[in-house]
Amino acid sequence: MTSADTTRQPVLYLSHGAPPLADDDRWTAELAAWSADLPRPENILVVSAHWEQAPMSVSATSGDVPLTYDFWGFPQRYYEVTYAAPGAPELARSVAGLVAGAGETLHQDPARGLDHGAYVPLVEMFPEADIPTLQLSMPTLDPKRLFDLGKALAPLRDEGTLIVGSGFTTHNLHWFDPAGGPDGTPPAPSAEFDHWAAETLAAQDVDAVLDFLDKAPAARQAHPRTEHWAPLFVALGAAYASGSLDNKSVIDGFWFGLSKRSWQFA
């Protein structure tokens, strides 16, 4: 999997949206433009807000990776989306070795497919579905442990692996307002947390990000439960261990009141 001319991949944290993201022309165009500027990865490793499982596990690796339609109450067409990316058994073996070195045990879940936190953005970013893709569960929501997991996974970047943390910069579904439209004015706490997140990541203040519940304004309103912010900790760890926290906010703005801000780490 490693070659002398393999380009080190960046690390991403993206806000993934619900299945109707596919109907938002602006956001889908932003995701497509983002991927067009990335070096083509050898494979993709996704840590999604929607898979918490301990012991740490990886998704199916044989054949085309299945999808997990982990949502309810949507029109039937959202359950008919396909994304037949090839499995990534070599990547799974590399992940197992790296996390073992960090004292973690990796399990295989051969029935687990890519959930919507993985495939919804990937459909827009890599629509050909021709890059081997693997999903890794979060064994905890503890910020430091996930940061350390990201540090352990950092060597994958030099093997051509694009590490993607997939969450949502603010995620309070009580704020989701279909009547206001996708571009409606966000609630003040959503805007406050988004502004803090932008400034804090620009300042590369890892300690504040990890301690966001005590440092960020409206943190517990923006994240009544922290699983959608947690994938950022993995991304930060992978960037930190590679020697650079340089980052840029690639996508910003709000979608039905929720911050869709997303970052790329060099």
What gap in Å lies between CA 35 and CA 124, rounded to an integer?
9
Band of residue 176 on the pLDDT scale cut at 50, 70, 90: confident
pLDDT, mean of residues 61-87 = 90
Average confidence (pLDDT) over 169-180: 87
What is the extent of the structural domain holding 167?
11-265
Residue 129 lies in a domain: yes
Residue 73 pLDDT level (bands cut at 50, 70, 90)? confident
Name the residue among 114, 109, 86 with its Cα closest to residue 96.
109
Residue 229 lies in a domain: yes
Q: Is 4 left (phi over 0), alpha (psi -120 to 50) or beta?
A: alpha
| pLDDT value at residue 5 | 59
CA end-to-end distance (rounded Å), the chain:
21
Q: What pLDDT, on the 0 to 100 scale, is given for residue 88?
A: 96
Mean pLDDT of 248-253: 96
pLDDT band at 62 (very low <50, low <70, confident <90, very high): confident
Residue 4 lies in a domain: no
Q: Rounded mean pLDDT of 48-75?
A: 92
CA distances from 133 to 12, 83, 109, 163 (A): 15, 10, 14, 10
Can you spell out the DSSP letters for 175-203? G--GGG-TTSPPPHHHHHHHHHHHHHHHT
184/253 Cα distance (integer angstroms) = 10
Say if 95 falls within a structural domain: yes
Q: What pLDDT was estimated at residue 102?
A: 83
Confidence band (pLDDT; 50, 70, 90) for 238? very high
Q: Specify if 62 maps to a domain.
A: yes
Q: Domain of 92: which CATH number?
A: 3.40.830.10
Rounded to whole angstroms, the Cα distance separating 207 from 210 reads: 5
More confident site: 3 or 163: 163
- Residue bearing tokens 């009580």: 174
**CA 179 from chain center: how many Å?**
28
In a domain, 17, yes or no: yes
Query: Token pair for residue 226?
Result: 């922290």
Span 145-163, average pLDDT = 97
Using CA atoms of 86, 91, 96, 101 in order, give the dihedral in degrees to the nearest 10. -160
Q: Given this model, what pLDDT does residue 3 score?
A: 46
CA distance 73 to 179: 17
* Mean pLDDT confidence for 221-245: 96
The least confident of 42-56, 88-102, 170-184, 191-205 is 170-184
CA distance 50 to 228: 8
The residues, ordered by sequence, that sit 6+ positions from 104 with a Cβ below 8 Å of its Cβ are 55, 56, 139, 149, 152
Q: What are 4's strand-pairing partners?
A: none
Q: For tokens 């804090």, what's the residue?
A: 200
In a domain, 2, yes or no: no
Distance CA 134, CA 52 (A): 15
Instruction: Please tell me the pTM assigned to this model.
Output: 0.94
pLDDT value of position 174: 86
Q: Which three-class secondary structure state does DSSP give residue 70?
A: coil
As given in the structure block, the two tokens for residue 263 are 């970052």
Q: Mean pLDDT over residues 17-37, rounded? A: 93
Q: How many domains does the chain have?
A: 1
Percent above pLDDT 70 for the chain: 98
The whole-number pLDDT of residue 179 equals 79
Q: Is residue 138 part of a domain?
A: yes
